[in-house]
Chain A
Amino acid sequence: MRTKEDPLVPTIPTGVPGERLRSVASGPDAFGWWGMWGLIATESLLFGSLLASYFYLRFRAGAGAWPPAGIHKPELILPLVMSAILWSSSIPVHIADQGIRRGRQAVARFGLLAGFLLGATFLGIQALVEYPKILKEFHPSTNAYGSMFFTITGFHGFHVVVGLLISLWAQMRAWQGAFDEHRHVTIQNFAMYWHFVDVVWVGVLFTVYLSPHL
């Protein structure tokens, strides 16, 4: 981010007399930052298409038929607890992202670790507590409502799994000391992806859990 006058930033000569340019980049000067925005854009449309399909089927089903007879409206306490856990995981990830920009290794390492643990807790509750409970009432193949519920939440869960895998990689590199105040695109990109997965959960929570109550 700093200008090329900053003596600590590595630079190299470009061949134009007297000119040197930074040889490391982060933020909008790094290609990876733009690539991650591209991924987020296209993934947003994936989730958008899924949520739109949910509402399409809901409104085609008509009033009172969503959820269909025999299925209760979704319980709210557990999803809200899960939401709190997932959203709070963004805080340590953000702290890690900010910390490494100042070269603070320990902040980065433990911030990533805390984010990982919170994300894993969310996933554990979803897979071990929530799903078994709901499967007693309906399955993905019971009807379109059940298919939509498990497809949307499962698709989000898959993104959490991918995020956790990227986190493991970033943590390994952080403990190897690969990052400093100039080189940290991996953490930056992981943080962007992780926040995206958390923001998407707002849409999932509203659509799948809250909207049937409206």
Chain B
Amino acid sequence: MATVTTAPLEALEESWYEPPGLISWFTTVDHKRIGMKYLVTALVFFVFGGIESLIIRAQLAGPNLHVVNPEAYNQLFSMHGVTMMFLFATPVLSGFGNFFVPLMIGARDMAFPRLNAFGYWVFLAAGIFLYSAFLIGHAPDAGWFNYTPLSDAKFAPGINIDFYALGLVFVAISTTVGAINFIVTILKMRAPGMSINRIPIFVWGELAMSFAVVFALPPLTVACVLLELQRRFGFHFFDAGSGGDPLLWQHLFWIFGHPEVYIIVLPALGVVSAIIPTFVRRRMVGYTWIVVAEMATALIGFGVWTHHMFTTGLPQIALSFVSLVSFMITIPSGVQIFAWVATLVAGRPVLKTPMLFVIGFILVFVLGGLSGVMFAAIPFDAQVHDTYFVVAHFHYVMVGAVIFPLFGALYYWLPKMTGKMMDERWGKVSFWTIFVGFNLAFFPMHIAGILGQPRRTYTYPGGLGWAVPNLISSVGSFLLAAGILITFVNWAWSLCRGAAAPNDPWGGDTLEWATSSPPPEYNFETVPTVRSLEPVWDQPELRDGAQPPEKGGRILLGGHLTLSTSMLDGRPRAVVAMPHATAWPLVATVGLLFGFWGVVFGAYLLAGAGALLFAASMVGWYWPKGETQEG
């Protein structure tokens, strides 16, 4: 601090000032506040999806129960899947990404701050749109992958599926703009000296995820648009009678659907690679290998979609190829697991709560990976297709690879975000409750599946051997929920009573630990020059909060400024002026929301009004203000 005199610091604070208070949460373009909003909103949807799953488990706790009626049950499991995939797992890690990618790369914001705000609002609006279907009792009810012809107008005449098709297009807008923002931020805004071999692994994970989003979401968007055209306007794409083909939906959906798994998992794996070095007190083993493995996973993930379609009667030769690629994709996952284990063995692990969640993750992820390899074998897959064995597998992979790293990340990073430490003891209680509850909830599903219990069924008769595993699952799911609740209470408690967090409570290696907790609006008093993969460990001057100019710290006075650097070697290229807080992204989103509501209800005047509001907000958004660079 001593190296920067007070006067420039005041100028910096004035340039980056955002007014406090409630209103500013609606206009902010600060990546940290947007990241916080993403995180909290996604966790609210997580609670919604969780309540849905608890009702499902109550319904399935014993044979022949009628806790809810079958129509409600269909809506519950469909919305559970849609919520957890699109409104929780993808955006929640965007929340951490938004908050921490600019901090980790030493930037002052994301590349497109207003687009960032827009992405958040669209995510929220798409969630409101999908959940508004529940309010009128017509939530999507054909499963999260919504196969035709079940989802065609003939067999699903209500507007339930229209909410699905339009809702997913809506949320895809948010995910796509967010991903492009991450890519540009990571490629162009890294601190001087942060060449590509010095990018933190978490940031690599976000980059790989973002590329997968850019290339994987369009097929889903096309599928949903085609489905809506067919349902609403009598087009023909998926009905065999008029030259369409129901399998077209499955292809389009899974070309998106399998990369989506990696879209969710890659940032979570990045979290693991961020937490491990801090708590074993040594650098990661095999940095390059892990990065290459992440990229390979994102790439190979595009070649395996038909392994979701092994039982649809496709040609044998195509299936054999996909089976091979599906075995192949275990290799990069294995590389990462061995690198983590090697780091754990080579260092001296400190078993704080974040580390416990990471170790829990490795155990669960390996189990989920093992059942995944089993599916790559076509004969086995045919046997357990559409049974609870599949449900067990993807909950091990998805819940295991998202919830465990996510909760580790909450304990690891919330002190930086809120400035308050969480309680360690309750953290450990939460971990063990989640770990036991998780395995109780999902392991018995393997057995129920092998015993033949089909997924998505409303209830089942007694005497098939399914009652015991289902009861254990139901008990486990409530225990899992209790463990999750403990962490939420711990968080709330820390906000009121938690000890103040120092800059670097864990002794971390990446740049977010070089600034205060919570960080100031401008992130760093001087944009640091980086000379190491673990800058906070290797550059002692960073720990004081500001790198002095003679060591390369750039204060960039005279406006809302950040650096543009070269893509490969991080050389400074230009100073870029960033936009200020604005309400236009919110107004644009309101226009979109009314547009989508207008279409789903067939109120095309409303849809037109929404489109006009959106267009008008674009004019307001781009209207020259004089403060930012035109051109």
Of B218, B223, B557, B619, which one neighbours A45 at CB under 8 angstroms?
B218
Q: Scoring A residues 48 to 88 as 1 if CB is less than 8 Å from chain B, else 0, what string do you get?
A: 11100100110011000100100000000000000000000
Q: Is B251 an interface residue (CB 8 A)?
A: yes
Q: Bound state CA distance, A65 and B245, in angstroms?
A: 14
Q: Which residues of B contact A143 (CB under 8 A)?
A: 236, 242-243
Q: Is B187 an interface residue (CB 8 A)?
A: yes
Q: Is A26 an interface residue (CB 8 A)?
A: yes
A25 near B564 with CB under 8 A, answer: yes
Q: Bound state CA distance, A137 and B255, in angstroms?
A: 34
Closest Cβ neighbor of A186 among chain B residues: B631
Interface-centre pick from B183, B222, B549, B615 (highest chain A CB count, 10 A): B222
Of B188, B218, B619, which one neighbours A46 at CB under 8 angstroms?
B218
Q: Bound state CA distance, A143 and B242, in angstroms?
A: 5
Closest Cβ neighbor of B219 among chain A residues: A49
Closest Cβ neighbor of B223 among chain A residues: A49
Tell me the B385-428 residues at the A interface (CB within 8 Å): none
Q: Bound state CA distance, A42 and B212, in angstroms?
A: 10
Q: Which residues of B contact A140 (CB under 8 A)?
A: 229, 233-235
Tell me the B233-277 residues at the A interface (CB within 8 Å): 233-237, 242-245, 248, 251-252, 255
Q: Which of A122-130, A144-152, A204-212 interfaces with chain B?
A: A144-152
B575 near A12 with CB under 8 A, answer: yes
| Known interface pairs A34-B187, A144-B237, A183-B630; A21-B575 also in contact (CB < 8 Å) | yes
Closest Cβ neighbor of A21 among chain B residues: B575
Q: Is A8 an interface residue (CB 8 A)?
A: no
Interface size class of B (residues with CB under 8 A): 35 or more
Q: Bound state CA distance, A34 and B572, in angstroms?
A: 17
Of B111, B222, B557, which one neighbours A15 at CB under 8 angstroms?
B557
B252 near A49 with CB under 8 A, answer: yes
Closest Cβ neighbor of A150 among chain B residues: B235
B236 near A34 with CB under 8 A, answer: no
A178 near B215 with CB under 8 A, answer: no
A53 near B215 with CB under 8 A, answer: no
| Known interface pairs A31-B111, A49-B252, A184-B631; A141-B233 also in contact (CB < 8 Å) | yes
Q: Is A199 an interface residue (CB 8 A)?
A: no
A68: min CB distance to chain B, Å: 6
Q: Bound state CA distance, A22 and B576, in angstroms?
A: 9
Interface-centre pick from A38, A50, A146, A187 (highest chain B CB count, 10 A): A38
A53 near B237 with CB under 8 A, answer: yes
Of A31, A43, A151, A186, which one neighbours B564 at CB under 8 angstroms?
A31
B214 near A46 with CB under 8 A, answer: no
B236 near A141 with CB under 8 A, answer: yes
Q: Which residues of A contact B553 (CB under 8 A)?
A: 15-16
| Known interface pairs A45-B215, A179-B631; A29-B573 also in contact (CB < 8 Å) | yes
B631 near A53 with CB under 8 A, answer: no
Q: Which residues of A contact B622 (CB under 8 A)?
A: 169
Closest Cβ neighbor of A144 among chain B residues: B243
A46: min CB distance to chain B, Å: 4
Q: Bound state CA distance, A16 and B243, in angstroms?
A: 67
Can you give 24 A-B contacts (C-beta < 8 A)? Answer: A15-B526, A16-B553, A17-B550, A22-B575, A24-B631, A25-B564, A29-B564, A30-B576, A35-B180, A49-B252, A50-B222, A53-B226, A56-B251, A141-B233, A143-B243, A144-B236, A144-B243, A147-B237, A151-B226, A169-B619, A169-B622, A178-B630, A184-B631, A186-B630
